[in-house]
Amino acid sequence: MNTLPAEIQEYYYSLDQKPSTENAQLLMAAFFKEFSPEKAEQELWLLLSGALTSTHLPYAALPEERGCMLHFYEWMKVVVKAGSVLGAGL
């Protein structure tokens, strides 16, 4: 299931078939039109905290798994911040 608008889906799927900087920039701009960097980080935190506290997540009790999730979260914050700079320049 995909909840992205049809025009955004086209740009997204085209990245696999024929990657282009133009499509990537359009997607970044569309993302930051919908989510401010602060809102994106807030949503990301909600996803992480929900995953870390879920009893349904396999291996969540393992410190290594939680460490990997936190590491990914920190990297996604970097991507959101960098993406907002790129998206703002369009």
What is residue 89's predicted lDDT score, i.e. its pLDDT?
Answer: 60
52: Cβ–Cβ under 8 A, 6 or more apart, which residues?
Answer: 60, 66, 69
For the segment 48-88, what is each residue's pLDDT rounded down to a tens digit?
Answer: 988 888 888 777 778 888 888 899 999 999 999 988 887 66
Higher pLDDT, 38 or 7: 38
**What whole-number percentage of the chain has pLDDT above 90?**
22
Instruction: Please give the structure tokens belonging to residue 65.
Output: 């798994």
pLDDT of residue 86: 78
What pTM did the predictor assign?
0.77
Alpha carbons 48 and 86: distance in angstroms, whole number: 25
